[in-house]
Structure 1
C-alpha cells in the first residue's frame, strides 16, 4: 500500500505549533490534566496503582463498558477501542475492502476516509455535497451512486469541514439506500455530540448489521492528545480486525484508558462546558461573516465546530500563508478538501483567542479582498 501526502496534515504539521491564534482545528478547546482532575474527580491514588502492562486487544473492559453504555445500547461486545478513530477506519477498510471494490465516499472528506480505500485499489466514487446548496446532502444522488454491488458507503455526518448535517428521517433514508445495495456503511460520528438546538443523530450501527460507526474523544471531548477512538460494530466483525492490529499498535495504554473511562463516564461534565463555548463562538462567527470584508454569505453551520466559508481573494492558500506570518492566525485552506476558494474555520476554541483571531483575519482581508 502506497499513499501520497495528506494535504491537511502537511499544512498543519508545523504551523499548528507556531500559530498564536488557531482557527483551523476541528475540535473544542483541549483540557489540561488539572482541569480534568478537578471536573472528573480523578483520584491521584488510583493513578499510583496503574501498572503499565499490556491491555486487552479489543480494549480495557471498563472503557468498553462505559462506551457501550453511551453509544452501543449497553453491549460492550459491540465496542473496540482504538488509537483515534483513524485507526478504527484503517482496520475496517483493510478487513472489508479489496482492490476493485466500488466504494462511495462523501466529498469533501477528511483524507483518511478517501485515501485508504484508494490505496487499497478500490473504485472510489465521490458523493458530492453541493457547495451551491450550502453542502446539503442530496440523497437522491446517493441513491443513484449506490449501484448494486457497491461494497461500502463512507460518510461523516455531522460533516467536517462544512458543518452540514441531516435529519433523523434523512438518516433513515440514507441507511435504507445502503441496505438496499447490501453494502457496508462506515458512519464517522466524530461530531455526533456537537449539535445545536436538537438531539444527536442515532447510531445506525445499532439498527443496521453491516454498519460500523466511529467515535473519538478528539472533537467534542477536548482530548485529542489522548488519541482515543472506538468503533461500534457487529460483535462478529471486531475479532476480524485483530490480525492487522496485532502487527501495528496491539492495544491502548492503561493510563490513557483510565483517563478515557473517566471522561466517558462523566461525559456531560465535559460536553456541557465546551458545547456552550462553541455555541457562543458560533454566534460570533456568524456576526463576523456578515460584516467582514471578503467573506461570501455563510450559512450557519448546523453541527460540529467547523465552518467552510468562501473567501473573495485571489489566492486563498497565499492568503492563509500571509495571515499566519503577519497576524499569527492559522486557517486551513480549502484546497486541502478540494475547494481552493474556501477555508476551514474552526470555532471550538478559547473564546478570547477566537474573537481576536477573527479581528486579525478581518484586518488582513481588508487589505486583499476583491
Structure 2
C-alpha cells in the first residue's frame, strides 16, 4: 500500500512556499555553524564512507552509548547510525511489523509510525494522553490495549509534541507490559537532554531486551542538517535486520555527518552545547509561558522537557484556519496547527531556533490576529 502524506508534512511543504518572517514553534535548538567544527576536522579526511563498519563510525557509536547512559548495559555493536531518528524508526518498524500485526502508539505523538502502520496494513491502536492531567500517558489504558497480538509499542520520551516526561518507573512498567506478550518497544528520544523539571530518563535499550532507543543530534544540538541519528538495541538480530534494510535504501551513512556528530558528542563539547541550549531555551520558555498566561485566548500545560508544547485555543478558533491566516500577509508568521497531531483546537508553540526565529515578533503578530478573531 502506498504511503500517504501526513497533515504535519503537508503543512511543512506548504510553508516552504510562504517565506515566513517569524517562527512560533521552532522545534530545534539554535544551529551551530560549520566553522565551529573546523578545528576538529582533518582536511585530508577521505569523503568515502568510513570503511570500518556498516553500523556507522565506531567512535560515533560509542559516543551514542555514552551520552545515553548505556555504558555497561549496551555496547557500540548495539548501535546502528542512521539518517536521523526518522530513519531509525523506519528501519525498526519495517523489519518488525507485517500486514495484520497490531501496534500501539500515543496521541498526541510523533505521527510517523501511524502513517507507516496504515501503509503496512497493520492494526493501529491509540492510547490518548490526558490533557486534563498535563498530557500524562494513562498507563492503565495502555495496559488494557495490549493483547497477545501486539507486535510493537511506539512512544516518545520526552513526548513530542507536549514535552511530557515518562519517568524511569513508568518506563519499567511499560517494559513489563510489553514483555508479557513479547512485544517490541520503541522509545524515540530526540528531545532527551533538554529536561526542565527532572533528570533525563533512562533509555529503554538498557531496560528491556526488546527495547529500541532511537535518537539524533537534530533537536537538542540543533544539527538537523547532518541527518545523523541512531538505533540502539540489545537484540543482535534486530540490529542486523536494520543494517540489511538500510543497505537497500540509504545503504551507508553520510561520512561528514558521522564525523561532525562524533565531534559534537564528545563529552566536554556535548556538555557545553546542552548547557547553552538549556540556558537559552529555559529563558525563552519563561517568556513564552508569561505570554500564554497573559493571552486570554490561549492556555497550555507548560512542557516538562524539550522545545515544544501544545497550546489550546479558546472555543470557536480553528487551529488550521488560524495558522493559515497567520502565515499569510500581513503577518507572515509560521505556526504549526494542532491538526498535525489530531487536535484541531490546538497550536504548537516552541522555544527553539534562537534569535533567527524572531519569536517576539511572531508572538506580537499572533496577538494582533487573536484580537481580531
TM-score scaled by length of structure 1: 0.93
Query: Quick check: 1:361 aligned with 2:366?
Result: yes
Give the structure 2 partner of residue 239 of structure 1.
240
The alpha-carbon distance between structure 1 residues 242 and 167, as it changes in their structure 2 partners (threshold 3 A), is: closer
Q: Distance in 2 between matches of 1:63 and 1:222?
A: 17
What are the Cα deviations for residues 2-27 of structure 1, in whole angstroms up to 9, with x where unaligned?
11112111111242571111223322
Give the structure 1 partner of residue 322 of structure 2.
319
Q: Distance in 1 between matches of 2:29 and 2:113?
A: 21
The alpha-carbon distance between structure 1 residues 235 and 147, as it changes in their structure 2 partners (threshold 3 A), is: closer
What are the Cα deviations for residues 208-240 of structure 1, in whole angstroms up to 9, with x where unaligned?
100011011111111111111101102512112
Q: Distance in 2 between matches of 1:314 and 1:208?
A: 43
Give the structure 1 partner of residue 60 of structure 2.
63
Query: Quick check: 1:51 aligned with 2:46?
Result: yes
Contact kept? 2:320, 2:337, Cα under 8 Å: yes
Give the alignment partner of residue 337 of structure 1, picking from 332, 335, 341.
341
Contact kept? 1:184, 1:210, Cα under 8 Å: yes
Give the secondary structure class of the aligned counterpart of 1:125. Answer: strand
Give the secondary structure class of the aligned counterpart of 2:300. Answer: coil
Give the secondary structure class of the aligned counterpart of 1:308. Answer: strand
Give 1:242 deviation, angstroms: 2.2
Give 1:130 deviation, angstroms: 2.2
Give the secondary structure class of the aligned counterpart of 1:148. Answer: coil
Contact kept? 1:157, 1:192, Cα under 8 Å: yes
Give 1:355 deviation, angstroms: 2.2
Gaps of 5+ in 2: none
Contact kept? 1:77, 1:235, Cα under 8 Å: no
Q: Distance in 1 between matches of 2:337 and 2:283?
A: 24
Give 1:58 deviation, angstroms: 0.9
TM-score scaled by length of structure 2: 0.92
Give 1:159 deviation, angstroms: 0.8
Q: May I ask how many residue pairs the two structures share in their alignment?
A: 361
RMSD after superposition: 1.7
Give the structure 1 partner of residue 191 of structure 2.
191
Give the secondary structure class of the aligned counterpart of 1:307. Answer: strand
Give the alignment partner of residue 308 of structure 2, picking from 306, 317, 335.
306
Give the structure 2 partner of residue 180 of structure 1.
180
Give 1:271 deviation, angstroms: 1.0
Q: Distance in 1 between matches of 2:146 and 2:360?
A: 43
Give 1:61 deviation, angstroms: 1.2
Give 1:166 deviation, angstroms: 2.3
Give the structure 2 partner of residue 82 of structure 1.
82
Q: Distance in 2 between matches of 1:220 and 1:303?
A: 11
- Segment drifting more, 343-352 vs 266-275: 343-352
Give the structure 2 partner of residue 273 of structure 1.
276
Contact kept? 2:210, 2:235, Cα under 8 Å: no
Give the structure 2 partner of residue 143 of structure 1.
143
